[in-house]
Structures are given as C-alpha cells and as structure tokens.
Amino acid sequence: MRFQGKSIVITGAGSGIGRATASAFAAEGGQVVAADRSDAVRATVEAITAAGGTALGVEMDAGNEDDVVRLVEVACTHFGGIDVFYANAGISGGASSVLDASVELWTDVLRVNLIGPALAIKHAAPRIVERGGGAILCTASVAGLRSGAGGAPYSASKAGVINLVQSAAQQLSGSNVRVNAICPGLIETGMTQRVYDYAREKGVEDKIGRLNPMRRGGRPEEIAQVALFLASDAASYVNGQALAVDGGLSSSHPVTRQEYGKPAV
C-alpha cells in the first residue's frame, strides 16, 4: 500500500499501459483520476471500483491546455491535490517517414505526445509542490532513444519527451518534485494490437519481440510496475531519467535499414 491516500492522475488510462497502471496504483491504495479522450476510461474506473479501489474518470484531450487545467482541478477538488501525475497519453502517427509525413500529422503527434506532457508538468507541478513534493512520470519510448523503432513524427516526439523530463527536473530544482520518463519497447496495447493480431492470424506470434534479448514482447503490467517504482519513495533519488523497459532492445536497436529511394524490406 505504497500509495495509500495519495492522489494519482493518469492520462491515456482507457486502455493498455494507462489502464494497467491505473489499476496498479489503485491496488496499492492510490486515489486515481483516470483520464482519456475515449469513453473506454469508464471501463477502467469500473474495474478499479469493482476490485475495491478508488477512482473517477475524466474524458479529456491530453494535448488541450483547457482540458489539462480541468483535469488538475478535478483531482484537487475530489482528492485534495495531486501527488503523482503520469502523462501517459500518446498516439502513434503510423509508420510515416520524414519524406512523406504531412504537416498535419506532425502537428497532431507533437501536440498529443510532447505538448501533452509539457502541459501536464506545467499545471500539475505547482499542485504537487503544495503537497510537499511527489513525482511526475511521462511515457516516452525506445523510439525516442534512436532510430529504428517507430515512424519519424512519433520518434521525434518521444525524443522530445526525454529532453522535456531532463529540462523539467532541472527547472524544478529544490521543489521535491521528481520528473522521469519510461521508454517502453514493444508492448501489447491498442497502439500495437494490429501487429499482434496479424502475427496470431499467421501463426507467427513467437516472432514478436524476437529482436530483443528477452525474445518476446512486453505486457502493460510490466510497464505499470516500473511506473509504481518511479512514483514511490523507493525511487526517491531517481530524477531526470529516461528508463528503457524493452527486454534489452535498446542495447542495440537492431533494424533492417531502408535505402533511400527503395521500398522498405
């Protein structure tokens, strides 16, 4: 019960990593505000309350400042403040390259994946300071560490998240607010479901995640456990870091390279 009585806000909580993390925080006593732009967040709240936890749902757009302000106010009104904010919401943007991604796609991906966490830090940090300190987490990606793990807009947005948490950790010096990023590898979520469904349909599920030393994809619950650690007192001296949770993939990022002017192999 590491989070007994703590107020926890999680965006992108309607499915995948966000839902698993919301359930994990609630199971350890956290009072969870689960947010998502999809009404699937209701199912997350129902599952938490059915298990005896405390949660409420908010439908909002993580890349919209008015919505983020409203989310922060909901948490403060219902649970007296914020102790942990997990800016997890994100979109993939597909496998677009630098050469074919539209300005509209770049704008949408950056708005949700990078501006969203920036807004979370901007509006949640002062409230966490009021509680005497706490933690802010952001979902980045191994795609933000180097190329070969995502489309160009997505990868660039996640690289921005990594630098964002480093900058925020410095700018919050002395506040007792820690800011860290989690960099998941291939995890079975709504974002990657088509990959998993296709592999199962073709009978090649055993090939998923074969490029990492663990030889498998990850589960949302495995990311959730890392989030709980980073938000807890056990990580009291971890700040401004981007922790890869990828089965070892980012130790080399093996990838089939695409030659200029030729289709991907």
Longest dimension (CA), the chain: 57
Q: Say if 159 falls within a structural domain.
A: yes
Angle (deg, nearest 10), helices 220-231 and 16-27:
50
Report if residue 255 sits inside a domain.
no
Whether 254 is in a domain gets the answer: no
Per this entry, what is the length of the chain?
265
Region of 117 (left: φ > 0; alpha: ψ -120 to 50; beta: rest) is: alpha
- Answer whether residue 199 is part of any domain: no
Q: Residue 166: inside a domain, yes or no?
A: yes
Q: Examine residue 77 and state whether it is found in any structural domain, yes or no.
A: yes
CATH of the domain at 114: 3.40.50.720
Range of the domain at 66: 7-189+219-243
Is 154 labeled as catalytic in the residue annotation?
yes
> Is 212 part of a structural domain of the chain?
no
pTM here is: 0.90
Per residue of the chain (265 residues), what is the pLDDT tens digit?
A: 999 999 999 999 999 999 999 999 999 999 999 999 999 999 999 999 999 999 999 999 999 999 999 999 999 999 999 999 999 999 998 878 899 999 999 999 999 999 999 999 999 999 999 999 999 999 999 999 988 778 999 999 999 999 999 999 999 999 999 999 999 998 877 666 666 666 667 676 676 767 788 888 899 999 999 999 999 999 999 999 999 999 988 887 555 655 667 765 4
Which one of the listed residues 86, 154, 196, 198 is annotated catalytic?
Answer: 154
Q: How many domains does the chain have?
A: 1
Helix H or strand E encompassing 126: helix 116-130
Is 197 inside a domain boundary? no
